Amino acid sequence: MELHQGTYRIGGVPALDIARRAGTPVYVYDAAIMERQAQRLKKAFSGTPTRFMYACKALGNVAVLKHMRSLGLGLDTVSIQEAEIGLQAGFTPEEILFTPNMVSFTEYQRAVGLGLHITIDSIPVLERFGHTYGADVPVCIRINPHIMAGGNERISTGHVDSKFGISIHQLRHVERIVATHGLRVEGLHMHTGSDILDTEVFLRAAELLLEMADHFPQLRFLDLGSGFKVPYKPEDIATDVEDLGQRLAERIRAFNAQREVPVELWFEPGKFLVSEAGVLLVSVDLIKQTTATVFAGVDSGLNHLIRPMLYGAHHGIVNVSRPAGKPRIYTVVGYICETDTFAWDRQLPEVQEGDVLAFLNAGAYGFSMASNYNARPRPAEVFVKDGKPLLIRRRETVEDLLALQVEQAL
């Protein structure tokens, strides 16, 4: 979102116009920012064969998925339902990676039936998969490197206590299973978590996977997950993907020079592609002053954007209605019957009832983590593409909430 001549715009369209036409709360996504981020990644890793599989758990609207495919991206899915929606959006099975965790074996069987790339991250599943399919279906194996990354255990997935992946210390056990069942290992996977600043974390992960590569002669790709950090505050720093791309390309080129079959690098970016593209527009319903605090209450809450409450995440907030107003301090809160505080003591241009506020960097894990808590409907979604706002999900109604409630004998 940009402030141009006193008006906040999203993809060139005045944000207030979108709020008036779609109502609030509403998620708004800028297609041009997604394209900018995708092109930045492609350019950064142009020195070596690389595939980017969009992690659709970040934002899974079909219109967004179609846009990602038009940008030349594949799809990373963590449930069979995400994979089925990806197929509906036009992705081919070869373009979809299935990377679940702690799911029933029936999901793997459905993924095999759909022809997806399949990642396995536990010894029991690997054994059962080998017994069931042998060499007929290639697999990717997810390794837990016991690397703490991102600085936050709630979004770090490669540390020793994580439920994700097969411990790197169980490699010998993995080799026995592979040999016993003749498994065809086409990929090695490692994802250490989100908000990684230090490129050395990716380089360490790559070195670990490269050390294992000789144990799997049919290897086609190394998947380093993602975790590229994007800035949420003006002073934030982000992952230097250009430096990472250059350094990894040099290492992979040297590695491939010694192999008959070269390996590709795969990544699963989600937040990096859509976070900055998304804005949540809300309306101010109430200004409430107590003895200690001035609250700005909005028509949304943790049911629509839970990241500040769940992760302590920071989202920039702007007053779209009066950008030039006199600065005052507000605590911005939601309408849920919980402590759903979006921001404490945030300086904003003077806020009045009826103003439209925008939560920035709301494209990733915003709508996709929304709920109907307190029987609140989920918001609409708008996609701004080529300067045109498109409604890509209508606002839910009470009728929608009741539609699946039934009373019948089992």
Residue ranges and CATH numbers for the domains of the chain are: 2-28+277-403 (2.40.37.10), 45-273 (3.20.20.10)
Instruction: For residue 54, report the phi and psi dihedrals to the nearest 5 degrees.
Output: -60, 125
DSSP letters spanning 219-270: --EEE----B---SSTT-----HHHHHHHHHHHHHHHHTT-SSPPEEEE--S
Helix or strand (DSSP H, E) at 33? helix 31-44
pTM (two decimals): 0.94
Rg (CA), the chain: 23
The CA distance from 386 to 76, in Å, is: 26
Cβ distance 155 to 192 under 8 Å?
no
pLDDT in tens, the chain (410 residues): 999 999 999 999 999 999 999 999 999 999 999 999 999 999 999 999 999 999 999 999 999 999 999 999 999 999 999 999 999 999 999 999 999 999 999 999 999 999 999 999 999 999 999 999 999 999 999 999 887 555 444 444 444 677 889 999 999 999 999 999 999 999 999 987 667 777 888 888 889 999 999 899 999 999 999 889 899 988 888 889 999 999 999 999 999 999 888 999 999 999 999 999 999 999 999 999 999 999 999 999 999 999 999 999 999 999 999 999 999 999 999 999 999 999 999 999 999 999 999 999 999 999 999 999 999 999 999 999 999 999 999 999 999 999 999 999 99
Active site residues: 337
Going by DSSP bridges, is the β-strand pair 26-30/74-77 parallel, antiparallel, or unpaired? unpaired
End-to-end CA distance of the chain: give it in Å, rounded: 50
